[in-house]
Amino acid sequence: MDTRRLKDLIARKLMFMLCIGILSIVFLIAVGLYIRSLPILVRSGIRDILFSSLWRPTEGRFGLAAFVAGTVWVTTISMVIAIPLGIFTALYLSEYCHKRTRELVKPVIDVLAGISPVIYGFWGMVTIVPLVRDHIMPFCVGHFPFFPFLSDNYTGFCVLTAGIVLAVMVLPIIIAIAEEVLSGVPFSMREASLALGATKWQTVKGVVLKKARPGIFAAVILGLSRAFGETMAVLMVAGCAMHVIPRSLFDPAYPLPALIANTYGEMMSIPLYDAAVLLAALMLFLVTVLFNIVGWKILGRMEDEA
């Protein structure tokens, strides 16, 4: 065999091994988390852990419900803000704005996507926390004294603040991907619609968005999994109060990633503590994987239909 073909063979095998290696990391993480969290699952059962909000490690009670609820609250709020903002911004960039504006804005968005979460957390502490504490919360509690605005947490470190900070973090991801997808809709398809006498908005709504829907969905899913797993920024502004299931936008929350980051490695002397925290990690992992699978499944089906 001559060396050219040998090199070709080696290159192929090497890349194959690298690919397998990366795949197996995902697999190993899942297996590792499962094995390490098995003790608590054996002791308490998954239902006890998921549906109890009693977190008393010293008494051997490891209810994760409050943390799960915190994660759900924060993620939901961030999505409610980021999805419409992100899609409309992407639409503006791809459909309406001048080419030069787009070329100016897109790199800025990429920079936003790359900024370290700590900086977002810090920014949230110095701007969003006071904003929520001094303006949004007094206004809401004064004008809408009902769910989900009632709270006795007047610190500004709360679900809403975390949601806003997360939304800002997730926005660049959604905008960047959605803009890419929208720009990928062929110009001739817009032309076909416009040639029938459609207005710009009719074309965007009826054709461009329809064609881009799977991609926009993917953008949202990716944003969602980022928001779901985001740790640092949320930890800094969410309040992180124990034993509380948030019942209001202004209640503090203690999302799962924050729990893991805050406590893992600290209270390891307590029996089963690490198993409980790793179970939380396993849940995060599984849900993120699930999001992606469901996302791509729906994506695939939409593409078949389009």
Count of residues touching other proteins (by CB under 8 A): 22
Q: What is the residue whose two structure tokens read 């209270």?
A: 267
In sequence order, the 6+-apart residues with CB closer than 8 A to the CB of 94 are: 102, 179, 182, 183
Q: Binding residue for other proteins (CB under 8 A) from 207, 218, 234, 235?
A: 207
Q: Is the peptide bond before 148 cis (omega within 30 degrees of 0)?
A: yes
- 106-125 residues near other proteins, rule: CB under 8 A: none
Helix (H) or strand (E) holding 256: helix 256-263
| Rounded distance between C-alpha atoms, residue 87 and residue 79, angstroms | 11
Name which of 107 and 197 has its Cβ closer to other proteins: 197
Q: Which is nearer to other proteins, 21 or 197 (CB)?
A: 197
Q: Does 101 bind other proteins (CB under 8 A)?
A: no
- If the CB atoms of residues 209 and 245 are measured against other proteins, the closer one turns out to be 209
**According to the binding rule CB under 8 A, does residue 306 interact with other proteins?**
yes
Q: How far is the CB of 223 from other proteins (least distance, A)?
A: 23
Q: How far apart are CA 187 and CA 193, in angstroms?
A: 10
| Long-range CB pairs of 44-49, under 8 A, 24+ apart, other chains included | 49/276, 49/279
Task: Please report whether residue 301 would count as binding other proteins according to CB under 8 A.
Answer: no
Restricting to residues 146-205, name those near other proteins by CB under 8 A: 186-199, 202
Pick between residue 156 and residue 215 the one whose CB is nearest to other proteins: 215
Q: Which of 157, 171, 211, 218 binds other proteins (CB under 8 A)?
A: 211
206 counts as binding other proteins under rule CB under 8 A: yes
Which phi-psi region, left, alpha or beta, contains residue 156 (left: φ > 0; alpha: ψ -120 to 50)?
left
Residues that bind other proteins (CB under 8 A): 99, 186-199, 202, 206-207, 210-211, 305-306
